[in-house]
Amino acid sequence: MRATAGKITVAFVTLGFTAFGLAACGTSAPPPAAGGPPLPAVNASASAMVAAVCRGGCPSSLPTVAAGYEPLAAFSPNSRSGDVDFAGRPLEVCFSVGSLTVGTLSYRIGSPIGGGTTLFDDVDADATAMQGCVADPGNDSGSNPVSITASGPGTWVVRIDQQG
């Protein structure tokens, strides 16, 4: 009986060290960012696009353009709507809100059956991040109207990025 207990203990200790070693190897480096690193030229273009619509009246930060995407359009309180030429490819709609005085922020592309898509809502716990990106299937092609709706005063910016 003793010999069996010793084998079980040795096997358990060996498996424990193996599992610990694998866990340590798996956590030794942070995971890569989703979509890979952003491209500097693309982000410079996105920054220029945002600066043009904001004219100094937008929140200070906006998420960077993900690798594989290109900035397509930007909107702010100075420019809440416009026609955008879409290519039927996936989109990321990125936003930043300057303060909770905005209340809610949503966007519409074309005339969606279910209405606009909420980006920010100071009451809804699922949509209270002050900045972020929302994936959109990007099933629109050609020129489509885009409109941004914000409740309450305050600064905000929305940028639409399209997969390249």
User: Which of these ranges, 38-52, 63-77, 92-106, 109-123, has the smallest mean pLDDT?
Assistant: 38-52
**Phi, psi for residue 60 in degrees, rounded to 5:** -75, -20
pLDDT in the model for residue 12: 35
Rounded (10°) CA dihedral 105, 64, 134, 119: -10
Query: Side by side, which strands form the sheet with 91-97?
Result: 69-75, 156-163, 91-97, 131-136
**CA–CA gap between residue 94 and residue 76 (Å, rounded):** 12
Q: What's the pLDDT score for residue 115?
A: 85
Determine the pLDDT at residue 29.
Answer: 32
pLDDT tens column, 6-49: 443 333 333 333 333 322 333 233 333 334 444 456 777 788 88
What tens digit of pLDDT does each residue of 100-114 get? Answer: 889 999 999 998 888
Q: What CATH number has the domain bearing residue 74? A: 2.60.120
Residue 35 placed within a domain: no
Q: Would 13 be classed as within a structural domain?
A: no
Average pLDDT over residues 77-102: 92
Is residue 19 situated within a structural domain?
no
What is the number of structural domains in the chain?
1
**What is the chain's mean pLDDT, rounded?**
76
Burial class from Cβ neighbours inside 10 Å (0-12, 13-18, 19+) for residue 158 reads buried
In a domain, 11, yes or no: no
Q: Is the pLDDT of residue 162 over 60?
A: yes
Side-chain-side CA neighbours of 31 within 13 Å: the count stands at: 4
User: Cα–Cα distance between 7 and 120 in angstroms, integer?
Assistant: 59
Q: Classify residue 18: in a domain, yes or no.
A: no
20 in a structural domain: no
Q: Would you place residue 154 in the very low, low, confident or very high pLDDT band (cuts 50, 70, 90)?
A: confident
Question: What does the pLDDT read at residue 81?
Answer: 94
Name residue 146's beta-bridge partners.
82, 109
Does residue 122 fall inside a structural domain? yes
What is the spatial distance between Cα 95 and Cα 120, in angstroms, rounded to a whole number? Answer: 8
Where in the sequence is the domain holding 130, given as residue range(s)?
40-163
pLDDT at 127: 67
Q: Does the residue 29 lie in any domain? A: no
pLDDT surpassing 70 at residue 131: yes
Q: Among the listed ranges 39-48, 91-100, 115-124, which one has the minimum average pLDDT value?
A: 39-48
Residue 31 pLDDT: 32
